[in-house]
Amino acid sequence: MDRYFNLEPTPSAYRAARDVPDGVPIRFVSLIRLRRDQPDGTTDRAMRQWDEALARIREDASGTVLTETRVLASSSASPGTWDRLIITEFPDRKAALRFLGDERWLDHVALRRDAIEQSPTIMTVPTPFDGHSPASADDYGPPVKDVSEVAHMGPVVAAARCLPRGTPFIWLSGLRLRQDRSPWLARAAYAGWCMMFNAVAAEQGGEIILNDSIACTFIGTDQRWDFINVVRYRSLDILERMLADPRIIAASAMRMAAIEDSVAILASESTTANKDLLSV
């Protein structure tokens, strides 16, 4: 396999971007593993130069960085160890295609390859889970006793609890719907969970950055995730209150009914924006 397979977009990804309806924002979510096999200073130097070039390309395409973070921990289901997470948004399909088609990508490909070992990236679009839920927690059996232990979240919750009090952090969840029931029932259960989670998060002070459907795997192997959620917490106290909230505990039955598998990632926001983080 080409050693740069996890660095370059696939042709099908470009087709997926062209299929997004007009006026719908497109987001790219990238996990980044930096190279560690280079001579001292080579990776850092290439990374800075690549990020400067990327920022110019992104700005010319009206792209916005929603968050850029340093990865602190990942769940036991995570496929690897990562250094960075960056989420970029484009206002519509035309802007995203302008970004992807910029000829300066080819001019700087060597920098990208000198800096990054892997950069799996997914393309997402907003999921409008709002209004009245088609599902009720009462329809799905008893709730989970300890929400922090649902679907591999334990290691990430433990890492969050090690942060100094008052430290803000980002929580990313990749979610795959269950395959052993009808797609409508799984999606209805997930919508019910998502609506309750979003409502409690807003009340407790969590900020929803993304609540998206995954359109395609843009770079790397297909992880078959269906949805991605990214939440910013100003402190551990907010997460703790949410995990103990009776509404979240009750709604966990819907999550279990909807989700076959998931991955969780904890990240800390960088204090130096656009200087040491990479994206697609």
pLDDT tens profile 43-92 = 999 999 999 999 999 999 999 999 999 999 888 655 568 899 999 999 99
Range of the domain at 112: 11-126
Predicted local confidence at residue 1, as pLDDT: 41
Last residue of a domain, one of 101, 126, 151: 126
Among 126, 156, 178, the domain-final residue is 126
| Residues 64, 155 within the same domain | no
Q: Is residue 275 part of a domain?
A: no
CA distances from 112 to 12, 177, 228, 278 (A): 21, 34, 26, 9
What's the pLDDT score for residue 271? 42
Q: Is residue 46 part of a domain?
A: yes
| Out of 11-25, 193-207, 226-240, least confident range | 11-25
Q: What is the CATH number of the domain that holds 55?
A: 3.30.70.100
Verify that 77 and 160 share a domain, yes or no.
no
Same domain, 119 and 143: no
Highest mean pLDDT out of 98-112, 227-241, 246-260 = 227-241
Are 101 and 157 members of one domain?
no
- Same domain for 149 and 92, yes or no, is no
Say yes or no: 167 and 141 in one domain. Answer: yes
Of 48, 210, 22, 68, nearest in space to 127 by CA: 210
Give the up-direction half-sphere exposure of residue 74: CA atoms within 13 A in the CB hemisphere.
16
- Whether the per-residue pLDDT at 280 is higher than 60: the answer is no
Is 263 inside any structural domain? yes
Q: How many domains does the chain have?
A: 2
- Residues 218 and 123 sit within 8 Å (Cβ to Cβ): yes
Reply yes or no on whether the pLDDT at 272 is more than 50.
Answer: no
On whether both 122 and 154 belong to a single domain, the answer is no
Claim to verify: residue 61 and residue 154 sit in the same structural domain: no
By percentage, how much of the chain surpasses pLDDT 90? 40
pLDDT at residue 14 in the model: 79
The burial of 263, by beta-carbon neighbours within 10 Å (0-12 exposed, 13-18 middle, 19 or more buried), is given as buried
Answer yes or no: is pLDDT of 260 > 50.
yes
